Amino acid sequence: MKFVDEFRAPELIAKTGEEIRRLADPNRHYRIMEVCGGHTHAIYRFGLKDLLPSNVELIHGPGCPVCVLPMGRIDDGLSLAAQPDFIFAAFGDMMRVPGTHGSPLEYKARGMDVRIVYSPADALKLARSNPEKHVMFFAIGFETTAPSTALTLVRAKAEGLRNFSVFCNHVTIIPAIRAILDSPDMRLDGFVGPGHVSTVIGCRPYDWIAKDERKPVVVSGFEPLDILQSIVMLLRQLRKGEAKVENQYKRVVPWEGNRAALRAMAEVFELRPYFEWRGLGFISQSALKIRAAYAEWDSEQRFIVPGVRVTDPKAAQCGEVLKGVLKPSQCKLFGRECTPEQPVGALMVSSEGSCAAYYNYEHRKPVTIANAATN
């Protein structure tokens, strides 16, 4: 299978692991952050950390959009959708994320009309087929999913479909990385850059990390060899004392990004002055809101939003895990009070959450690269 099997070949993986061990200075401890939750899952699924020397530490970053969404935003969206003749539509990984009074799935059990959709276009179809109801799409994601939301809003406006709106929770990756670097308790040597986001924004937006912060960035794919090769590229830079942005994922990521997607986002969205992130607090210009020209299809401009602010349960340490200060297993609730079946925090239920990845692949059933590469 082209571009899959080639990146899971055990003999190549073993050789790349040897190269990492050769490049890593035994007198130095490396802390490398993989920003994207998809990378975190691949690292645990394929047992990649077991191939690394003990002085190469992988830190799990805030690149899971479901995980960084504060409880208050979930409560706001559910409060709107609790109105009569409303349909709450969202991606599947939102369904079990807990709000203050339950998850969307629990609200569905109480009688609210909650639907799983696979794209915002599916939510638009729901609006067309249910003209007597209002369909609210709970939009979430980094720049990866924002273009599809933007194009759906363009279509809704063109059709004059007034029983459809979007509750926008799209966030942007660069301010989150800046907040991580500004954190006084965080020391990092480099970044495995997010592959999915970069298919939209390209590689150039990371230049400041290399130039101003002197941290190398390698945009990476998601197969075992992608990630291991990215670590090799980072270690080579660090060994030479370099700091630059490199693109390991050239087969998918254009350096300048997807211009058509960026144009669609620019037409529909503008930056919010501030947006709250779980674990990171309020970050300026870190999220998107819908422009006034599309106000009729913006849930927040069309309806009264409570503006709920809720802190996470005190015992849950989601913020520390999101910032990479703690490993998932170091949270007091991990694997006991907080499991995928009964999640306390979004990091345990999301398909990209680091706690879910650790629980499924490391905590419960350790795997080796030899058998994982064939699954």
Q: To 5 degrees, how large is the angle CA 138–CA 142–CA 143?
A: 110
pLDDT value at residue 153:
98
pLDDT attached to residue 374: 43
- CA-closest candidate to residue 149, choices 116, 119, 117, 113: 119
Quick one: pLDDT at residue 363? 65
Count the Cβ atoms, other than its own, within 10 Å of residue 327. Answer: 18
Q: Do both 146 and 203 map to the same domain?
A: no
CATH number, domain at 140? Answer: 3.40.50.11740
Phi-psi region of 241 (alpha: psi -120 to 50; beta: other; left: phi over 0): left
Residues 162 and 272 in one domain: yes
- Please report whether residue 134 resides in a domain: yes
159 in the same domain as 125: yes
Q: What local confidence, expressed as pLDDT, does residue 366 receive?
A: 47
**172 CB-contact burial (10 Å; exposed 0-12 / middle 13-18 / buried 19+):** buried
Same domain? For 213 and 184 the reply is yes
What tokens appear for 116 in the block?
A: 């799983």
What pTM was computed for the model? 0.90
- Going by C-alpha positions, the residue among 360, 362, 349, 366 that lies closest to residue 64 is 349
Helices 37-45, 224-240: axis angle to 10 degrees equals: 110
User: Which residue stretches of the chain are H helix?
Assistant: 10-23, 37-45, 65-68, 71-81, 104-109, 120-129, 146-159, 173-182, 195-201, 207-211, 224-240, 259-268, 299-302, 318-322, 346-349, 354-357, 369-372
Same-domain pairing of 178 and 46: yes
Q: Which two three-digit tokens encode residue 79?
A: 């409060």
Sorted by sequence, the CB contacts under 8 Å of residue 118 that are 6+ apart come out as 91, 92
Residues 238 and 293 in one domain: no
313: in domain:
no
Do 229 and 352 belong together in one domain?
no
pLDDT at site 367? 45
CB atoms within 10 A of CB 53: 15
Whether 10 maps to a domain, the answer reads: yes
The domain that contains 219 carries what CATH number?
3.40.50.11750
Asked if residue 102 and residue 44 are part of one domain, the reply reads: no
276, containing H or E segment = strand 274-277
For residue 166, CA distances in Å to 46, 76, 199, 289, 294 come to: 37, 13, 23, 10, 10
Does residue 108 lie within any of the structural domains? Answer: yes
Q: Each residue of 154-170: pLDDT tens digit?
A: 999 999 999 999 999 99
From the list 192, 182, 207, 180, the residue with the least C-alpha distance to 30 is: 192
Q: Would you say residue 252 lies in a domain? A: no
Total domains in the chain come to: 3
- Run means of pLDDT, 10 residues per run, the chain, 375 residues: 77 95 97 93 91 94 87 92 93 89 92 96 98 97 97 98 97 94 88 97 98 97 96 98 97 97 98 90 94 97 88 77 83 87 80 84 55 45
**Quick one: 72 and 163 in the same domain?**
yes
> In this predicted structure, what is the pLDDT of residue 136?
97
| 225-257 pLDDT per residue, tens | 999 999 999 999 999 999 999 999 999 999 999
Triad 320, 322, 323: Cα angle to 5°:
65
- In the structure encoding, which two tokens stand for residue 223, read together? 């197969």
Residues 56 and 74 in one domain: no
Residues 338 and 345 sit within 8 Å (Cβ to Cβ): yes
Host domain of residue 275: 67-173+267-302
CA dist 273 and 295 (Å) reads 17
Q: Are residues 26 and 140 in the same domain?
A: no
